[in-house]
Structure 1
Amino acid sequence: MKRAADATLLIAPGCPHCPQVLAALSELVKEGLIGRLEVINIAAHPEAARAAGTRSVPWMRIGPYELTGLHSPSELRRWAERARKGAGIGPWYREALEEGRLEEALSRIRRHPEELKALLEMLQGHPPIAVRVGISALVEELAGTDALRALIPRLGELTRDPEPATRADAAHYLGLTGDPSAAPLLRALLKDEAEQVREIAREALEALEHPGRWGDQKREGA
């Protein structure tokens, strides 16, 4: 039997939804779906809110999953079950992007850049356009970082994916690594059967040959 996940709940005086969420999480503790529940009043411990990167309550973490606001008992149960099964962080990002919570996803990926790998796995299997666009925004946020460069081998595998859209995304992300070692992978895509892939591969190669251009473009668009 897999171990139940632990949970943390941030509350504050006057919070209208905190009692409902506390009651629902407490019930999951009684049922054994949550192993331990830590409740923190951020009025007494504001450092807890800063550490969580939130200004809103109720805020909760169930295993790896961070949630804000009122959630029904059935929703909380679903996240607790996912945490116990070790479903990974992918479902959280997918739901956040599908619901348009991009800023929330950006905040998390900044704090947990190692979760980029889970985002790349979501590219396969025809994700909804909102998810695909959201993944691009999250990867672009970490352009040129060690976390993205570490995924060059996985991106290389994705350049051979059957779906042209996935190969095109992989080419774009290889350009964002800023790492010359990605160039051979991009040159191979210059002969891709899909025009879109070839074009993005050319642009990505140009980005590698002109370090800093991506950062300049981001500043101009800010």
Structure 2
Amino acid sequence: MTQTPPDAEVLIATGCAHCPTVLQALTDLIKEGLLRELRVSNIVADPGRAQELGVRTTPWARIGPFTLAGNYSPKELRHWAEQAGSEAGIADYIRSHLKEGELQTIETFLRQQPEWLKVIIGLLEQDDLEIQVRLGLDAVLESLAGSDELKQLAPEFARLSENDNAQIRGDATHYLALTGDPDVRPQLEKRLEDDSPDIREIAREGLEQLEQTQT
């Protein structure tokens, strides 16, 4: 079954040096059928749309679920059009933006579209994940502590807490505690017998944290 091309939107401004290039690139993607529809707004003539979206600078584009603020090249815009809607594309979007230090972009993205939180699991189990990306994911998950969205990931965190890689095991143990779900207690207690003293300490702290949330 062929995937439906994503919709797109672009905000431009009169006098913006990079806006014509971005607009032309998106128009070309429409012609090729990689985009289904393109909405164009000039924020000088119609500032209301920019205010509605919280956009302060142009060019600004949205392709499917992806927000792309700034001067993206035609090649980059094509890439995101081709990736829109796929789990691999979402993971790539999260990883690339966290790698560039754009934590707020990803926090906003996942807050608005929590159904994509699940793709974080695949990133967390990568042995070679960049440290800045791993730290960014940690910050994202910390911001969701105790939420229903995080509780839904508890089975995956439990699975990762058995990983051969101690870094992954330790992070997952910490995230189990962050869920605030009393049902994760057996997994945390199991990690009290982990080969790594650091993970045993994470598990102890997690159990204490879990106890505090229950009182």
1:215 aligns to what? none
SS of residue in 2 equivalent to 1:9: strand
When residues 159 and 18 of structure 1 are mapped into structure 2, their CA distance, relative to the original with a 3 A threshold, is: same
Q: Distance in 2 between matches of 1:162 and 1:50?
A: 48
For residues 83 and 109 of structure 1, do their structure 2 counterparts lie closer, same or farther at Cα, with a shift above 3 Å needed? Answer: closer
What residue in structure 2 maps to residue 13 of structure 1?
14
- What 5-or-longer segments of structure 1 have no aligned partner? 213-222
Cα distance, 1:25–1:148 mapped onto 2, change above 3 Å? same
CA-CA distance at 1:208 after TM superposition: 0.7
Matched letter for residue 6 of structure 1: D
Distance 2:86 2:185 in 1: 39
Question: In the alignment, does 2:104 pair up with 1:103?
Answer: yes
Cα shift at 1:45:
5.0
Aligned pairs for 1:161-200 (under 5 A) are 161-200=163-202
Overall identity of the aligned pairs, in %: 46
Q: Report the CA distance shift for 1:138/1:34 in structure 2 as closer, same or farther (over 3 A).
A: same
Match of 1:207 among 206, 209, 212: 209
Distance 1:47 1:157 in 2: 47
Pair 1:39-2:40 in alignment: yes
Q: How does 1:132-147 map to 2 (within 5 A)?
A: 132-147=134-149
**CA distance in 1: counterparts of 2:76 and 2:177, whole angstroms:** 39
Q: State the Cα deviation string for residues 50-90 of structure 1 (Å, max 9, x = none).
A: 55443332221112221110011111111112127663411
1:90 maps to 2:91? yes
CA RMSD of aligned residues (A): 2.2
Gaps of 5+ in 2: none
- The question of whether the paired residues in 1 share the 8 Å contact of 2:65 and 2:85 is answered with no
2:206 alignment partner, SS class: helix
Give the conservation status (yes or no) of the 8 Å contact 1:158–1:166.
Answer: yes
Query: Structure 1 length as normaliser, TM-score?
Result: 0.86
Offset at 1:96?
A: 0.3
> How many pairs does the alignment contain?
213
Deviation per residue, 1:115-162 (Å, 9 max, x gap): 221112211122111111110000011111111011111111111122
1:87-111 CA-to-partner distances (Å, cap 9, x unmatched) read 3411100000111111222222232
Give secondary structure in 2 for the equivalent of 1:87. helix
Alpha-carbon contact 1:3-1:84 (below 8 Å) kept: no
Aligned partner of residue 61 in structure 1, secondary structure: strand
Q: Does 1:124 align with 2:133?
A: no
Question: Take 1:154 and 1:206, find their aligned partners in 2: how far apart are those partners?
Answer: 21
Q: Tell me which residue corresponds to 1:216.
A: none
Native 8 Å contact 1:113 1:142 kept in 2: no
1:220 matched residue in structure 2: none
TM-score for the superposition, normalised by structure 2 = 0.89
